[in-house]
C-alpha cells in the first residue's frame, strides 16, 4: 500500500475498512498456475470469464460452450415480433478470445466436484481449481401431458434463442388471417418471468400490423405474473381486445396437448390455436443436477457471498440454474452475478475474504416498439446467512398510469440497456 493510500484512508476515517485503493497498490499474489473453468457461454458465463481475466490477468480461464455463436434470449421477442433481425441478437466469442479466455466449443457433459474435472463431449477432461457453472435451464417435458422434447419441432418453446426463435417467428408470419396464437407459460420458477408477456406484446405488435383480426390467448400455469398491471395497461392501450389472459384457476391445468390438431386441453376446456408456443416447466441444466448440486430439488442452492454450491466445494453456480436469494432468473441478473462471482473467486484464489458488495437487476420489457416498462432490484448478501436479499427502500416496477413520455423513455432505455449489456459481454 502506498503512503498516499494510507493518508486517504486515515482522512476518510474508515479505520480498517479497505474501501478504495490507488491503482499503484501492490496486487495480491495469485496462484500463477490456477485454472478457472467456466461452463456456459451465456450471460452469466461470458460475464464471469471476462471479469475473471480483468481482475486476475495471470489466471488461466477456459470457457466451455455448446456453439460458436450465442443468441440472446433478451430481445429475441423483437425477432419473433418482426422488429429486429436474428443477426442483431447473435454474438461471437471473439472478444473473449482477445481477452485471453480460452473458448472451447465442445459441450460440457459432466462435472465431477470430487475430482475437480469437467468432461467435454469430445472426451477431453479439464481440471480446475475453481469452476464457475452457468449452464442455464433444461426443460421438463416429463411434467407435460403426453409430449416429449420432439414436440418443440412443431410447438416451439423459443425459450432458448436460436433456431427456435426463427421457427416461432415464421409460424406466426405464415398464420392464416384471423388465426389464434396460444402462449402457454409454465408455473414459477422459470427463466425470465416477464418474458412470456413481452412476447405476447410483440407478437400483438406484429399481428396488429399484418393480421389485425388475429388473437393471442395466454393459457398460463399460474394466476399472476411479473409486471402484470403494467402489461395489461399496455395491452389495453396498444392492442385492445387482442390478448386474452387465462389464469391457471380458470383452466385448472394442462390435461393434454395434441400437436397435430394444434390443441391444448385443460381441465376446464380446450383451446385451439394455429400457432402454439409451448413453454415447458424448467429445472437447472442437467449437468448441474447430475453432479448432485441440486440436492433433492431442481435448482442449485448457493452461498450468496461466494456463489459456491451448498453441495460442493470449489464449484460456483450462477444464473438461471441457481437459487440466488431474491434475485430473479434473468440474463441481466446472471451477468451481474458473473462479475460478482469472479470477484469472489479471485479473492478465494488469493486467500482474501470475499467482499460483500451490492448487486443489481434491471429488466426492461417492451410492450410495443416505443412502449417500455421495467422492474429493478438491489441486493446484498446478509451478514448472518449470506443470502442475497432485496434491500429495503429499493426496487419495484415503473409507475402505473397513462404516462406516454415515461413509456417512450423506457423503450429508449431498453435499447440502451441491451446495447451496453451485450457490449460488456461480447463487445471488443
Partner 1 sequence: MTCPDPDRARHGVFAIFAAVLSGTGTAWAADGPLAVTVDACTTCHGPRGMSQGTMPTIAGMDSEAFAEALLAFRDGSRESTVMGRLVGPLSDEDIAEIAAYFAALPGADQ
Question: Which residues sit at the interface with partner 1, rule CB under 8 A?
Answer: 4, 7-8, 11-14, 17-25, 51, 55, 332, 335-336, 339-340, 343, 355-360, 362, 374, 376, 378, 380, 391-396, 398, 406, 409-410, 412-413, 415-421, 423-424, 427
Phi/psi for 427 (5° steps) reads -80, 160
3-state SS, 49-63, equals HHHHHHHCCCCEEEE
CB nearer to partner 1: give 230 or 264: 230
Cβ at position 425, least distance to partner 1 in Å: 9
Calculate ∠ Cα 151-152-155, nearest 5°: 85
CB nearer to partner 1: give 236 or 394: 394
CB nearer to partner 1: give 164 or 337: 337
Q: DSSP alpha helices (H): ranges in 38-180?
A: 43-55, 76-80, 94-98, 163-173
Cβ at position 197, least distance to partner 1 in Å: 19
CB nearer to partner 1: give 400 or 419: 419
Phi/psi for 301 (5° steps) reads -80, 140
Residues 209-215: contacts with CB under 8 Å, at least 24 apart: 210/82, 210/173, 211/175, 211/177, 211/178, 211/179, 213/177, 213/178, 214/175, 214/177, 214/178, 214/179, 214/180, 214/181, 214/242, 215/179, 215/180, 215/181, 215/242, 215/243, 215/244
* Total residues belonging to the chain: 428
Phi/psi for 409 (5° steps) reads -60, -45
Please give the helix or strand (H or E) that residue 279 lies within, else none. Answer: none
CB nearer to partner 1: give 182 or 359: 359
Cβ at position 9, least distance to partner 1 in Å: 9
Pair 359, 51: CB distance under 8 Å: no
Cβ at position 178, least distance to partner 1 in Å: 37
Please give the helix or strand (H or E) that residue 344 lies within, else none. Answer: helix 331-350
Cβ at position 414, least distance to partner 1 in Å: 9
Cα(221)–Cα(208) distance, integer angstroms? 26
Please give the helix or strand (H or E) that residue 300 lies within, else none. Answer: strand 300-301
Beta-carbon-side half-sphere exposure of residue 133 (alpha carbons within 13 Å): 39
Cβ at position 20, least distance to partner 1 in Å: 6
Pair 312, 336: CB distance under 8 Å: no
Cβ at position 406, least distance to partner 1 in Å: 6
CB nearer to partner 1: give 121 or 415: 415
Cβ at position 111, least distance to partner 1 in Å: 26
CB nearer to partner 1: give 17 or 114: 17
Cβ at position 304, least distance to partner 1 in Å: 12
CB nearer to partner 1: give 77 or 336: 336
Cβ at position 342, least distance to partner 1 in Å: 9
CB atoms inside a 10 Å sphere around CB 338: 30
CB nearer to partner 1: give 76 or 336: 336
CB nearer to partner 1: give 111 or 345: 345
Nearest to 26 by CA among 354, 375, 350, 383: 350
Beta-carbon-side half-sphere exposure of residue 209 (alpha carbons within 13 Å): 12
CB nearer to partner 1: give 129 or 424: 424
Cβ at position 218, least distance to partner 1 in Å: 26
Pair 277, 268: CB distance under 8 Å: no
Cα(202)–Cα(195) distance, integer angstroms? 11
Q: What is the DSSP string of 351-394?
A: TPPPP---EEEEEEEEEETTEEEEEEEEEEE-TTT--EEEPTT-
Amino acid at each position: 500500500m502506498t503512503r498516499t493510500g494510507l493518508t486517504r484512508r486515515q482522512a476518510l476515517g474508515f479505520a480498517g475498512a479497505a474501501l478504495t485503493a490507488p491503482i499503484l497498490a501492490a496486487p495480491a499474489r495469485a496462484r500463477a498456475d490456477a485454472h478457472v473453468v467456466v461452463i456456459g457461454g451465456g450471460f452469466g458465463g461470458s460475464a464471469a470469464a471476462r471479469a475473471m481475466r480483468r481482475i486476475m490477468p495471470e489466471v488461466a480461464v477456459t470457457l466451455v460452450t455448446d456453439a460458436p455463436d450465442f443468441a440472446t434470449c433478451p430481445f429475441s421477442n423483437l425477432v419473433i415480433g418482426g422488429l429486429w433481425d436474428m443477426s442483431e441478437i447473435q454474438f461471437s466469442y471473439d472478444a473473449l478470445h482477445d481477452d485471453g479466455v480460452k473458448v472451447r466449443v465442445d459441450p460440457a457433459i459432466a462435472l465431477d466436484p470430487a475430482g475437480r474435472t469437467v468432461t467435454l463431449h469430445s472426451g477431453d477432461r479439464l481440471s480446475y481449481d475453481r469452476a464457475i457453472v452457468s449452464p442455464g435451464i433444461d426443460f421438463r417435458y416429463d411434467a407435460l401431458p403426453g409430449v416429449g422434447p420432439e414436440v418443440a419441432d412443431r410447438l416451439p418453446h423459443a425459450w432458448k434463442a436460436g433456431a427456435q426463435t426463427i421457427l416461432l417467428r415464421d409460424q406466426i408470419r405464415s398464420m392464416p388471417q384471423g388465426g389464434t396464437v396460444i402462449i402457454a407459460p409454465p408455473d414459477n420458477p422459470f427463466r425470465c418471468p416477464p418474458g412470456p408477456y413481452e412476447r405476447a406484446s410483440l407478437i400483438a405488435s406484429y399481428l396488429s400490423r399484418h393480421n389485425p383480426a388475429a388473437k393471442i390467448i395466454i393459457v398460463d400455469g399460474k394466476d399472476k405474473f411479473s409486471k402484470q398491471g403494467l402489461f395489461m395497461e399496455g395491452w389495453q392501450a396498444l392492442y385492445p381486445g387482442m390478448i386474452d389472459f387465462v389464469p391457471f384457476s380458470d383452466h385448472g391445468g394442462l390435461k393434454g396437448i395434441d400437436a397435430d390438431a394444434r390443441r391444448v386441453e385443460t381441465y376446464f376446456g380446450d383451446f385451439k390455436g394455429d400457432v402454439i408456443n409451448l413453454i415447458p416447466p424448467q429445472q437447472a441444466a442437467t449437468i448441474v443436477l447430475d453432479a448432485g448440486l441440486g440436492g433433492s430439488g431442481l435448482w442449485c442452492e448457493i452461498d450468496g457471498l461466494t456463489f459456491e454450491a451448498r453441495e460442493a466445494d470449489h464449484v460456483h453456480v450462477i444464473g438461471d440454474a441457481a437459487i440466488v436469494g431474491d434475485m430473479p432468473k434473468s440474463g441481466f441478473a446472471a451477468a451481474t452475478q458473473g462479475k460478482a462471482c469472479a470477484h469472489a473467486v479471485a479473492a478465494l484464489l488469493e486467500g482474501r475474504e470475499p467482499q460483500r458488495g451490492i448487486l443489481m437487476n434491471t429488466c426492461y420489457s417492451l410492450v410495443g416498439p416505443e412502449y417500455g416498462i421495467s422492474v429493478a432490484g438491489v441486493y446484498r448478501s446478509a451478514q448472518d446467512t449470506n443470502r442475497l436479499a432485496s434491500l429495503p427502500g429499493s426496487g419495484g416496477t415503473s409507475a402505473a398510469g397513462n404516462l406516454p413520455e415515461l413509456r417512450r423513455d423506457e423503450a429508449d432505455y431498453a435499447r440502451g440497456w441491451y446495447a451496453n449489456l451485450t457490449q460488456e459481454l461480447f463487445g471488443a
